[in-house]
Each structure stands twice: as structure tokens, then as C-alpha cells.
Amino acid sequence: MTRDLIPATSILRYHVVRLSGVIRERIRRTLAGEARFCASRGGYPAATHGLRGRHRDGRGAGDRRVGAPATGRCFHAKHPVRSPTGLIRSLSCLFLMASLSGCIWAPGQSMTKNSNDNGGNGYVKLVSITPAMLETQQQRAGAGSTSAVPAALLDYRPEPYRIGPGDSLYITVWDHPELTSPAGEQQQSAANGRLVRPDGTLYFPYAGVLKVAGMTIEQARQSIASGLAQFIKNPLVDVSIENYASQRVLMEGAFVKSGPQPLTGVPLTLGEAIGVAGVNSQNADLSDVVLSRQGQVYHLDLNTLHGGSAGAQTIYLQAGDRVYLPYNFNQEVYVMGEVLRPQALRFTTSHLTLTQALGQAGGLNEITSKGMVYVVRGALDKHGTTQQPTVYELDAKSPAAFALADNFMVKPGDVVFASAAGITRWNRFMSQLLPLTSALSATASSQYYLNSGK
């Protein structure tokens, strides 16, 4: 507090001394002019009241009567005038009193226990952050938690891959290279692949046109071998999929590589699909991943999934699934007031503590902060549910308070406000008031020099 007060008092003392000197010199010259004027008229200036000595006619300086000729600036000695020193002291005291009461008109925002009453109508509720309050909050959060994975997702098990239109099959007939590689063995295997047509059929020599869509690899192998058995005795046939193109899942949103991902013969989990797509960690909101399947929409918290036994690796995807990772542009908490770096912090997970929010903002300003932190929570949450506006108060004058802050979860849309100390507000008031005193001092100096030049 002393470190903050010294600069303001030094500047104030400088301007008071400067203004006092100008006023003193102005009053001295004025009285000197009055003395010369009244001497020429036979009167006395008012400031000579009380001076010892005798008038030239033998009467005391204080015995002059009303009947004496006193015009212009001459006054009767019974009407004393405040001395210049007394006037300067009075002006200085008034200026200092106005300065000390500057916190009333101090600029900026401030919050106290009574500032949230909003006219006394109880619209905003003030709640102190205490261990009992945190325990109640955690119990409510546990009771209303919806982070559990739906049973419909956990119970699904993928079936063997079924061939579909767009897939490319590589068919091997042992001891018959002319059927296996009609383009020549020197060609790549893709050149000898058999593409499944849009109608689900393919053509193979001797076997003819076969309907393979919907078949597993084993079923397709048996179908081709049956077609060749009329021309080849005990044909040995092998079928593999050269290119998977008929079944896909769609990855959308805040992924590094958004777009479709093919399903292969190896089952694909949600965690694997997200790993292949890559998460844009700066812009992604992992707390609300949306999985759409056959008209059903499931909301998943990836932060909770990775921390529990039923993780994203246990959720298998099926053809036609759509995975949307939302952006966090609207999921922010606003840290304001007496912190080192006021800013808006984006949520990447569903868990952000008050300590983390203050830490990312650089912590409390040790010079200007009062040590009181307020979390202002509005009337609507991110799901649009109406609630009573609440202000949570944390007394952070002691570092031990961060043990409580580390267990207090902030929510998107919250405003974290660090209140300013009284001396900080007083200094800010003085920083705006002192330019005015400088202007008054400059005006008085200019007036003095203009009058002295006449």
C-alpha cells in the first residue's frame, strides 16, 4: 500500500506547492496594488488591520472611522481579511479532502458484498466459496452427471465385413495365373482387381456375373469357386479386398483431417477414428462429442471417457456413423479485473477449475489486487436452462484459498473478476484528477504573468 501511495502523494504535493506559490504571489501583488491605491486616497487596505503603529494624525491604525473617505479597494479596518497563508492552507485542505474521498468517484469496476444486491430485489445471490459449499456442489454434479456411455453403444459388436459397391476384390485361382492376373504378373495387384459394380455384381471368367454385395469374404469365395467348378476340377480360390470403399464413417468438426474414413475388415473404434482424424486442440470442445447413428444422437464427454473404464476404445463404429467434434468458440470463461493478463479462456474439456483460470491469466496482480475473487454466473447455462444469477465469492488474501479454488469448477459463460484494492482505486482517481490541477495551476500562472505585464 505504501508503495502505491508514495507516487500519488508526491505528485499531489508538487501541484499543491506550485498552486500555492502562484496564489500567494497573486495575493501579495494584489495587496500591494491596493496599498498604493488607498494611500493615494487616504485610506488603508483591509490587510493592514491589526498592524501596530500610529497614524500620522496620532490615531491608531485600528481607530479609523466609517466616515473616513474610503473608496475603490479601501475597506474599514473592522472587516478583517483572511491572510494569504491562511487562504492557501484552506484551499490545500479542501483539495486534499476531495482527493482522499476520491474512491467514491474512482473509475473502473469494483465489487463488494453489497454491490450485488441490484437495488435490494434479491435478483443476484451471493455465495461464499467454502468447503461445505464445494461438497454440496460436487454432490449435485455427481447426481446430475450424464457422462455415462449409453448401453446401446457399449453393447454393439461389429459383424464380419460385408462386400459392397465400390470395393475392389483381388481373386486368386491357384495354378491358373491367367485367371488370377489377366493383365500380367508384372502388373501391380490393383490392376488385376475386380471392382464391385453399383448394382453389387462383378464379372469373373467362367464363373460369369456374380452378385457379391452383402456377402462376407468367405461367402464370396465359395460363390466364385462354385462357378468355376463346372470348368475346373476342385478349384482353389482365395479372395481378398484390395480397396475398401463401400462402408465409411464421417468425421466432421474440429478435426485436423475431417472427412470420411473407410471401414475395413478390422473393426474401427471411436478412439481410433479420432486418432486418425487428429484433434485441433486449440479450437475443439472435447466435452460434447456428438455421435449420430441410425437417427439416434449420443452426446459424449471425451475427457470423462478417457478417464474411465468405458473409454472411447470400447465404442465400435458402424457404417453410416457420423462423429461431430464441436468448436469451442462459444465455450469461454472471461477473466477480468486485477489479473496480469485479462483474457477470454476457451474450454477444451469439461473440467476447468478456478485455479486454472486464474493461472492461465497470470494470477492475481500483487500490487493492485484486493485479494477478493468473484465468479459471476448468469441466468442461462450452455444448455439454455434458466437458473438464478449467482456470484461466488472467494477470499484469496491468503494463498491457502487456492486449495478451495482448485476444487471449484467454472462453467462456460462465467466471469471471473478480481477486485481492486482501495488504494488502487484512489490512485486511479488521482491520475485523472491531477491533470485538472495542472490545468488550473497553468491558468493561474498565465493570468499572473498577464496581469504583471500591465
pLDDT tens across 3-51, in order?
444 455 555 566 556 656 666 666 666 666 656 655 555 554 444 444 4
Contact 408, 354 (CB under 8 A): yes
Q: Examine residue 65 and state whether it is found in any structural domain, yes or no.
A: yes
Q: Examine residue 61 and state whether it is found in any structural domain, yes or no.
A: yes
**Average pLDDT value for the chain:** 76
**Are residues 356 and 412 located together in one domain of the fold?**
yes
Task: Provide CB contacts within 8 A for 244, sequence distance 6+.
Answer: 161, 167, 262, 263, 264, 265
Q: Examine residue 361 and state whether it is found in any structural domain, yes or no.
A: yes
Tally Cβ neighbours within 10 Å of residue 364.
Answer: 23
Q: In 115-243, where do the E strands start and end?
A: 125-128, 168-173, 194-195, 201-204, 208-211, 237-243
Q: Does position 79 have pLDDT exceeding 50, yes or no? A: no
Q: Examine residue 199 and state whether it is found in any structural domain, yes or no.
A: yes
* Whole-angstrom Cα Rg for the chain: 44
**Are residues 91 and 16 located together in one domain of the fold?**
yes
Structural domain boundaries, residue 135: 125-143+330-420
Confidence at residue 20, expressed as pLDDT on a 0 to 100 scale: 63
**Are residues 264 and 193 located together in one domain of the fold?**
no
What does the pLDDT average to over 429-434? 76
Q: Which of 243, 258, 273 is the last residue of a domain?
A: 243
Tell me the CA distances in angstroms from 185 to 116, 194, 235, one per residue in order.
83, 15, 20
**Are residues 262 and 196 located together in one domain of the fold?**
no
Chain position carrying cell 491357384: 174
Residue 291 to residue 293: CA distance in whole angstroms: 7
Residue 417 to residue 409: CA distance in whole angstroms: 15
239 pLDDT band, cuts 50/70/90, is very high
Strands 289-293 and 296-300: antiparallel
Q: Examine residue 114 and state whether it is found in any structural domain, yes or no.
A: no
Q: Which of 267, 268, 178, 160 has the alpha carbon at shortest distance from 221?
A: 160
Task: Express each pLDDT in 413-425 by its tens digit.
Answer: 899 999 888 888 8
Q: Examine residue 115 and state whether it is found in any structural domain, yes or no.
A: no
**Are residues 367 and 434 located together in one domain of the fold?**
no
Q: Examine residue 81 and state whether it is found in any structural domain, yes or no.
A: yes
**Are residues 340 and 292 located together in one domain of the fold?**
no
CATH of the domain at 384: 3.10.560.10
Q: Examine residue 113 and state whether it is found in any structural domain, yes or no.
A: no
Tally Cβ neighbours within 10 Å of residue 412.
Answer: 18
**Are residues 347 and 388 located together in one domain of the fold?**
yes
Tell me the CA distances in angstroms from 424 to 82, 106, 421, one per residue in order.
37, 9, 5
Confidence at residue 177, expressed as pLDDT on a 0 to 100 scale: 85
Domain count, the chain: 4
**Are residues 8 and 96 located together in one domain of the fold?**
yes
Confidence at residue 105, expressed as pLDDT on a 0 to 100 scale: 55
Contact 212, 201 (CB under 8 A): yes
Contact 358, 374 (CB under 8 A): no
Q: Which of 243, 275, 307 is the last residue of a domain?
A: 243
pTM: 0.64
**Are residues 394 and 440 located together in one domain of the fold?**
no
Contact 171, 204 (CB under 8 A): yes
Tally Cβ neighbours within 10 Å of residue 64.
Answer: 20
Among the ranges given (206-220, 350-364, 373-387), the one the predictor scored with the smallest mean pLDDT: 373-387
Task: Provide CB contacts within 8 A for 428, sequence distance 6+.
Answer: 106, 107, 108
Residue 358 to residue 405: CA distance in whole angstroms: 9
- Tell me the backbone φ, ψ of residue 248, rounded to 5 degrees: -145, 160
Listed as own residue / partner, the contacts of 154-157 with beta carbons closer than 8 Å and 24 or more positions apart are 154/310, 154/314, 154/315, 156/315, 156/316, 156/318, 157/316
